[in-house]
Structures are given as structure tokens and as C-alpha cells.
Amino acid sequence: MEPSYIFLTMAVTLLSMPATGFGQGTTRVGFYSKTCPRAESIVKSTVESHFRSNPAIAPGLLRMHFHDCFVNGCDGSVLIDGPNTERKAVQNSLLRGFDVIDEAKAKLEAACPGVVSCADILALAARDSVVLTKGINWKVPTGRRDGKVSLQSDAAKLPGFTDSIESQKQQFARFGLNTQDLVTLVGGHTIGTAACLVFNYRLNNFTNGGPDPTINPSFLPQLRSLCPQNGNNFRRVDLDTGSANKFDTSFFTNLKNGRGVLESDQKLWTDASTRTFVQQFLGEKGVRKLNFGKEFAKSMVKMSNIGVKTGSNSEIRRVCSAIN
């Protein structure tokens, strides 16, 4: 069944006034309603087409949007190709979905030349990816412009898979995102995958020659069989075991049961400051229940307004992979 359209308080407010981002510019719902009325439908149909042949494109696009926003704001800079760009950084080496954005952009240029930014295409595609995996739908504020700078070194700002919770909270806080936003957005891993190389160190020689003690002993053989020592480091493993293609709360259930694949993910449960939010999303007794879908939509709107650019430091790129 298709998820119902959720009209969040934040989104409703955005209908009548601009949303102020953590940056210079503003966005609003329906930004292209007059200048390119088919903008959102073109992006949606493009994402749907690719998803039908390759469902893995959904988490790929969601991750790409996150990686874009956490490096100098949501400005499409991760899409720029060339020597020493963000796209060439090791942190972005496994990103997927560039072809989807390129195709959507080409269609939009044919329909509305020079109007829709690459940054907005990416924000819309991330939302559409969640919907296609049976997650919540929400209204995406648009009006971002594309950045003109993309530096490989800046990708070092991205959170890492070994980061402590304190480090993760600091990285999110610098963009105006709180601890609940952190837990909520990491929950996007419910449809994600990871290559063996980013977590296989947890399986054997983590501490005193043994595995990471936070891994459930019954889960360890499964991970070791998927990522054996001296095996294929680029094999991809579901981050939400048992429910990899559905946007739901089972990711948090897995964390509670010691079945988190990434070290940084599992810490959401082992750290008391973040465990409370995991418990709220799971609706455990004794804590105020939070609806993961609704909160994810709110946090995504909040994140997507990081560093929105305007003026001479931005543009509307005709080709997403190159500066005009």
C-alpha cells in the first residue's frame, strides 16, 4: 500500500513562508510551480524507472544527498566530477546514483532549460527513494542553487563509521542538527548496505584478538560468512538484516539485539544519550513513543536546508557533473 502523504507542521509552514536554512539562502515548497511545474514529476519518474531495474539505487541516492549536505551544505557539489573533487574522495568512492541524477537533469533541461538546480534534483530524488521503499512521503522545500566549489579534502568532514557518539553529535551540531536528528537520520540505514571493508575489522581482531563484544555472538557467524578474512572487501552487506529493502524500524530492533553492522550504528544503542531515541522509535514501555517516519521527514527537511546558497557563489548548472 502506498504511504499516505504526511503534512508535517514544518512542511505546512513552508507552504506559506520561506524556510531558513543553516546557511545563506532559503527554500520553499512549490518553488518550481510556475517556472517548471513538471519538475518533481520528472525527477520522480526517473528515480522510479531506475529503481525498477535496480532497487539498490534508493539507498544510494539517499546516502548521496546526506554526503552532499554534510560537506559545505546541500549544493550539489558532490555531483561535480574532475580531479580533486568531493566525488573523488575515498569517503565517496562507493556512492551510487550519479546516472540517475544526470538523466533527470537532462530531462529537466529539455523541459525547463536553466531552471532546476542539481542540488534540488538530489533532494527530491532522496525523498522519492524513501517512498519507493515503502517509507513516508513528505513535501520537499526547493529553491537551492548549485555550489561552484568541490574539493576532495572537504569530504573529510563526513562522519566516519568508527566515530564515537560524542564525535557524531558534534558533527551534526555544527549544522544545527540535534541528537534526535542524529539517531533519526542514521535510521536511514534501514535501506542501506555497506562494503565488507568498512566493518570487517570488527569480526576478528577488534579487542584482545577477538571480535567486537557489542556484536551479538549469534550474529557473528553470519557476518563472518558474508565477509571472510581475505575475502572480497567490496562485497555489500545489508545494514538492516532481514528488512533491507523496506523503510521501517527494524534497523533499530537490530541495534537493540546487537545486530548492527557498522560500529558507529551499534553505538546508538550502547550509548545512553542515543539509546533513548532508539527506544522511543521502537515504542518501548516507559518512554514516549516517536513515529520514525514522521520524525525522519522532519529531520530530512531540516538537513536539506543546510548551507543553501545564493548569489555569486552559486549557479544553476546545466550539467550536474561540471561547473558552468
Q: Read off the pLDDT of each residue in 210-233 and give the average, rounded to a whole number.
A: 96
How do residues 136-162 score in pLDDT, each as one tens digit? 999 999 999 999 999 999 999 899 999
What pLDDT, on a 0 to 100 scale, did the predictor assign at position 24? 52
How do residues 70-126 score in pLDDT, each as one tens digit? 999 999 999 999 999 999 999 999 999 999 999 999 999 999 999 999 999 999 999
Do residues 110 and 205 both lie within one domain? Answer: no
Which residues span the domain enclosing 264? 165-302
Do residues 194 and 243 both lie within one domain? Answer: yes
Range picked from 1-5, 91-95, 316-320 for highest mean pLDDT: 316-320
Do residues 53 and 146 both lie within one domain? Answer: yes
* 233 assigned to some structural domain: yes
Do residues 294 and 174 both lie within one domain? Answer: yes
127: amino acid identity, one letter: R
* 42 assigned to some structural domain: yes
Are 282 and 4 a contacting pair, CB within 8 Å? Answer: no
Do residues 206 and 135 both lie within one domain? Answer: no
To the question of whether residue 190 is assigned a binding role by annotation, the answer is yes
Do residues 80 and 144 both lie within one domain? Answer: yes
To the question of whether residue 217 is assigned a binding role by annotation, the answer is no
CA atoms within 13 A on the CB side of 288: 0
In sequence order, the 6+-apart residues with CB closer than 8 A to the CB of 112 are 32, 35, 36, 38, 39
Do residues 143 and 173 both lie within one domain? Answer: no
Do residues 111 and 199 both lie within one domain? Answer: no
To the question of whether residue 99 is assigned a binding role by annotation, the answer is no
In which band, very low, low, confident or very high, does the pLDDT at 6 lie, cut at 50, 70 and 90?
very low
Strand partners, 322: none
Prediction pTM value: 0.91
How do residues 257-315 score in pLDDT, each as one tens digit? 999 999 999 999 999 999 999 999 999 999 999 999 999 999 999 999 999 998 888 99
To the question of whether residue 77 is assigned a binding role by annotation, the answer is yes
In sequence order, the 6+-apart residues with CB closer than 8 A to the CB of 158 are 67, 70, 71, 91
| Number of structural domains found in the chain | 2
For the cut 90, the answer to whether the pLDDT of residue 228 exceeds it is: yes
* 5 assigned to some structural domain: no
* 21 assigned to some structural domain: no
How do residues 16-52 score in pLDDT, each as one tens digit? 333 434 445 689 999 999 999 999 999 999 999 999 9
Alpha-carbon span 239 to 220, nearest angstrom: 14
Domain with 109 in it: what CATH number? 1.10.520.10
Are 74 and 65 a contacting pair, CB within 8 Å? Answer: yes
Are 239 and 56 a contacting pair, CB within 8 Å? Answer: no
To the question of whether residue 71 is assigned a binding role by annotation, the answer is yes
To the question of whether residue 240 is assigned a binding role by annotation, the answer is yes
In which band, very low, low, confident or very high, does the pLDDT at 324 lie, cut at 50, 70 and 90?
confident
Catalytic residues: 67
Do residues 169 and 297 both lie within one domain? Answer: yes
To the question of whether residue 238 is assigned a binding role by annotation, the answer is no
Do residues 152 and 179 both lie within one domain? Answer: no
How do residues 295-311 score in pLDDT, each as one tens digit? 999 999 999 999 999 88
What pLDDT, on a 0 to 100 scale, did the predictor assign at position 201? 95
* 101 assigned to some structural domain: yes
Alpha-carbon span 79 to 94, nearest angstrom: 13
